[in-house]
Structures are given as C-alpha cells and as structure tokens.
Structure 1
C-alpha cells in the first residue's frame, strides 16, 4: 500500500503578519487550544476508522505558527498519528514550522523526543527593517539564536523561508539574505517566495491606499534571478520553482504535492488529496470543532478529479519541478501521450517556454519567469 503524507494545521500565532491570509489567529486561550487539538485528534481517529491504519512516510505541522503553542499539544497529536497510522520511525520525515522568537531549548528538545526531525523556519528576510515592515515578531538575531537552539537539540534538517519583492527592499538586501543564510551549515533547504498582496490583509489595505512602496516588476525579476544564481553558487540546487536544497535534503513532504501522491490534511482549512479526491476543511473555528465533535466530516468542499483534470494536474504540478515531466510516466498513468493530449506543448516549445529532451519536457529559464503562462495551457 502506498504511503500517504500527513498535514496538520495549527491556526494559532502570536501576531498576525501584515501579508498573511492563512486561517490563523493571534492570541491563544488555553481552553480554546485544548478544544482545538482535541478536535484534530478526533478527526484523525475518524479518518482511521473509515480508511484503516494507513502507512505514512511524512508528517508536517504547518500554520499559523505551530511553535507558538505548547509542545505538549504537538506531542498529543503525534501520539494520535502514531496510533492511527503506520509510521516508519527510522525513515520518516516529520516537520514542524517554527518562527524565531517562539522557540526555547525545552521546546526544541521536546520536538526531538516526540520524533520530529525537520524544522522549517519562517525567517522571510535577514533585514530587521524588512521584518518590521512585514509585521514579524522577531529580529535577525532572534533567528540566529533559534538556529543555535535547534542545533543544540539535535536537529540536522533545517529549512528557512525567504520572501522577496518586499516593501522598500533592494537588490542588495536580497543578496545579503542569500549570503547570510548560505553561510549557516545547518540550513539544508531554502524556500523562496515573492510577496503576494492578498485580499483582506493589512498589506492589501495599504496597497489600495497607495502606501506600500513595492519593487517594480523588473526589479522583482532581478531579485528572483539573484536568488537562483546566488543559491546555486553556494551549493543549493533548485529542484522546484520555489525550493532549493543541498544535495539530498529536498523536502519529501512537499514533493508529494508535485507528483500527485496522496496526502491527508487535518485541522482548520487543511487540504487533502486522497483516492483522487481533493478536499478542503472548513475555515471557521467554531464550525470545525462542532462538526468534528458531532462525528461529521469538517469539509468545506470536495471534488473528485475526472480524467482530464488529473492529466492537467499531473502536467502543471510536475512542471514546477526542475526535472520536468516524463511522457513515460504519463503513459503509465493515463495510457496516452501528453504530446497527443496537449497540442499546446509544441507552441510552448517554439516560444522558448518549454524545452524538450526526448520524452521529457521542462521549463526553460524564460518559462520559469513566465510559469503561469505555461500552466494555464494545462488547466
């Protein structure tokens, strides 16, 4: 039986960042937290009762800020996962997102003792000015201190998130971020994202008021290229549009998403892809807890992919990876060739957005810059 990935959403954080539109809330009441994590465990147990004790190869706690809550809550959910899924203890990748300023030595050691072995640090930038603009609670010094705590607790697999295209950010700021981060040997993986102004966020309000000094498109493109080049020069291979890793340290959990492997999500707003169905949980805390407590699935929407949708997802998700997509894999899954099913491929190659090597197609550097123009051909 094929392994699944497990995602658990932790919707609590100390302070809502100005760009964030994820289902999360600042502040944490002990009663509210207890009720929420009880509901998450009930949801996990209900899934196991319906589908059996499935084997799982990865676990990922995302947020929100999972490191903001008491470690005991995370441990409780890990115990429940072990009870309801078959975990290969020696080979599992078990990750937790953490923000600098929320970690302690005791918390880091508790994570290791409960079996977590990978941490994704929400750094975003090494510039204290930039961090303040984003509404982050930490400084760069806090990040360095948190990194020391994680290493001291025995973590070897540490990732860091970087953002670019930030208010007032310069190309030199981005280069400084790369130089600083790649100098840390414990950092094995870096995820890089451009700032997106999401509706309903504090940044959205400022943007509409003309009070958000963002880099123009040309400068943002330069930043993206500086990141790709700078990371490559320092031993980080780009293996996906937004993700870079030292050799052998790619994220196994996130890789599931790009190759259409099954994953199940638990908690508020969590997404799943299982038995060809994409499912998203409700976003309201009261609705979620009430539904799970009543023994009902806390589903906001569910959709079973038809054959054409599966083919499209295989293509645009697979093309996010630098290795591209192989027609042999496509034929094995669907019994046809993607060169026949998607006539647009020829045009994309002619326009220099895709390159073809025998039966494999992948994005060109130009295609990476204009990836959305490529993906729209498959959806």
Structure 2
C-alpha cells in the first residue's frame, strides 16, 4: 500500500497579515470553529469510508494560524486521522504551523501528547519594525519565547519561515535576519521566500496607490543570493528553491509535492493529489461546512491529469529540488526519455539555465534566478 501525506487546513487567524491571500479569516467565533472542525472530521471519515484505511507517513496542519485555535480542536482532528488512517508508530512526521504570540506551554505540551512532532514557526523577519509593517501580531522576542516553550515541551524539529524583499528592507537587514536565525540551535529548517504582492491583499492596495516602497529587482536578486550563501555558510543546505535544512532535517511532507507522491487535503480550500487527480476544496466557510454535513464531497474543482500533464508536472516540480530530475526515474514512470519529450531542455542548457550531468538535469544559479522561465517550458 502506497503511503499518502495528509494536509489539514485551519482557516482561522488572530489578524490577517497584509500580504496574505490564503483562505483565512480573523474574528470567527468559537461556534464557527466547532462547526468547522466537526466538518473536517466528517470529510476525513467520508474519505476513509470510500478509500479504505490508507497508510500515512506525514500530517501537516497549515493555515491560517493553526496555533490560534484551542488545542482541543487540533486534537479532535488528530484523533480522527488516527481513527481513519494507519499511522506507523515512530515513523510519522506530524507538523503544525504556529505563529509566535499564540503559543503557551500548555498548548505545546498538548501538541506533543497528541502526536505532533514538528512545528513550523511563522517568523518572517527578526525586525520588529518589519513585522509591524507586515501586519504580524508578534515581536522577535515572542519568537524567541516560542522556541523556549517548544523546547520545554520536547519539540526538536522546528522550522522557521523567513521573507525578504520587504518594504524598506536593505541587504544588511537580510544579513542580520540570517545571522540571528542561524545562531539559534533549535531551528533545524528554514523556508525562505521573497515577498509577492498578491491580488486583493492590503499590500496590493498600497502598491497600486504607490505607497509601498519595495526593493528593486536587482536588490531583491542580491538578497536571494545572500540568503543562499549565508545559510550554506551556517550549515543549512538548500534542498529546494525556497527550503534549507541542517543535515537530516528536511521537510518530509513538503517533499511529497515535488516528487508527485500522493497527498490528501481536508478542510476549506485544501488541495489533494490522489490517484492522478488534482482536487481543490471549496473556499467559502458556509459552503464547506454544509457540504460536509450533507455527506457530500466539498470539492470546488477536480481534474485527472493526462500523460502529458503528468510529464510536465514531473519536470517543473522536480526541478524545484536542488538534486534536479533524473531521466532514469522519468523512463521508469513514463517509458520515454525527457530529453526526447522536451526539446526545450537543450536550449535551456545552452542558455545556462540548466546544467546536465549524464541523465540528471538541475537548475544553475542563473536558472534559480529565472526559475519561472525554466518551468514554463514544461507546462
């Protein structure tokens, strides 16, 4: 039986960040939360009734801010997952996203007792001024306090999110963030992203009004290189375009996405890839809960990939990893060579965007800078 990954979306947060376009809301009531998590459990049980008791090696609670809600709600869903899936003892990576300022010692201990063993902390920057500009609810001191609480509760696998390209940010600011974060021994993994202005966000409004002073493209590129080089110097190996880890602490759940392994998503807006079908749940809270309560699949859209789509996904998702893609793996899956199926590879190598070593191709440094230009060749 093939293992699956499990994703659970928690759409609640204390305050909507100015850059966030994820399906999440602030100000929902405890009654809303109770109804929502009961609906999630109904969806999980309906899936298990249809597909059987599958084996799962990763569980991931994302948001929103999963740590904002009462730990009992997370425990309710974990109990349901353990009821409906086979979770091999000692072999499951179970992650919860958390924001500094929302954790307590009691919550952290509750997470450990219910089987969670990895925490992804939404830091974003060590600058309190920068955090305020982003609309975050916490300070850098809150982040440090969160690390202490998690350590006291027995968490060893802790990841931190970091952003660059922020309003008013300088290259020195980025280097300061890296120096502070890499000096913290409990942090084993760092996910690092450049700020993207997403449509409909508060930052989008400010940007359109000319009120958001962002670094120019050249400076943002310098920041990206500073991140890659700075983390490497401190023992954080880049294993994917945006992800870095101390040796042995790579994210197992996120890695499923890049190698096209099956995962099932539960909750509002959650995405799945299972039995060669990509599926996304409805985005409206009322619609989601009502459909789950009626015993119906709360699906917004579903699409079964054809062979050409699977080949394209294999390439552009796999090329996000620093190890690249291997033609031998491609041949085993599709019975043909990607060098034959994608003539563009030769042009990308010639342009210095990809490098080839025998059957393996991977992004060059220039290719990382212009990754979207590479990926579009396979879509």
TM over 0.5: yes
Note the residue ranges of structure 1 that are not aligned, 5 or more in a row. none
CA shift, 1:89, in A, is: 2.2
CA distance in 2, matches of 1:154, 1:165: 34
Q: Which residue of 1 aligns with 2:86?
A: 86
CA distance in 1, matches of 2:258, 2:224: 21
Q: How far does the alpha carbon of each residue in 1:249-298 deviate from its partner, in whole angstroms, 9 at most, with x for none? A: 00000000000000000000000000000000000000000001011100
1:1-379 matches, within 5 Å, as 1-379=1-379
CA distance in 2, matches of 1:169, 1:95: 30
The DSSP-based 3-state class of the residue aligned with 2:31 is helix
Note the residue ranges of structure 2 that are not aligned, 5 or more in a row. none
Q: TM-score, normalised by structure 2?
A: 1.00
The DSSP-based 3-state class of the residue aligned with 1:248 is coil
CA distance in 2, matches of 1:89, 1:11: 29
The DSSP-based 3-state class of the residue aligned with 2:103 is coil
Q: How far does the alpha carbon of each residue in 1:215-261 deviate from its partner, in whole angstroms, 9 at most, with x for none? A: 00000000000000000000000000000000000000000000000
CA distance in 1, matches of 2:23, 2:188: 28
CA shift, 1:27, in A, is: 1.8
The DSSP-based 3-state class of the residue aligned with 1:96 is strand
Q: How far does the alpha carbon of each residue in 1:137-184 deviate from its partner, in whole angstroms, 9 at most, with x for none? A: 000000000110000100000000000000000101100110000001
CA shift, 1:28, in A, is: 3.2
CA distance in 1, matches of 2:289, 2:59: 22
CA distance in 1, matches of 2:18, 2:215: 17
Q: How far does the alpha carbon of each residue in 1:76-124 deviate from its partner, in whole angstroms, 9 at most, with x for none? A: 0000000000001201000000000000000000000000000000000
The DSSP-based 3-state class of the residue aligned with 2:265 is strand
Q: How far does the alpha carbon of each residue in 1:56-75 deviate from its partner, in whole angstroms, 9 at most, with x for none? A: 00000000000000000000
CA RMSD of aligned residues (A): 0.4
The DSSP-based 3-state class of the residue aligned with 2:62 is strand
CA distance in 2, matches of 1:116, 1:6: 13
CA distance in 2, matches of 1:197, 1:184: 30
Q: TM-score, normalised by structure 1?
A: 1.00
CA shift, 1:125, in A, is: 0.2
CA distance in 1, matches of 2:69, 2:315: 38
The DSSP-based 3-state class of the residue aligned with 1:161 is strand
The DSSP-based 3-state class of the residue aligned with 1:17 is coil
CA distance in 1, matches of 2:310, 2:363: 20
Q: Runs (4+) of structure 1 moved beyond 2 Å?
A: none
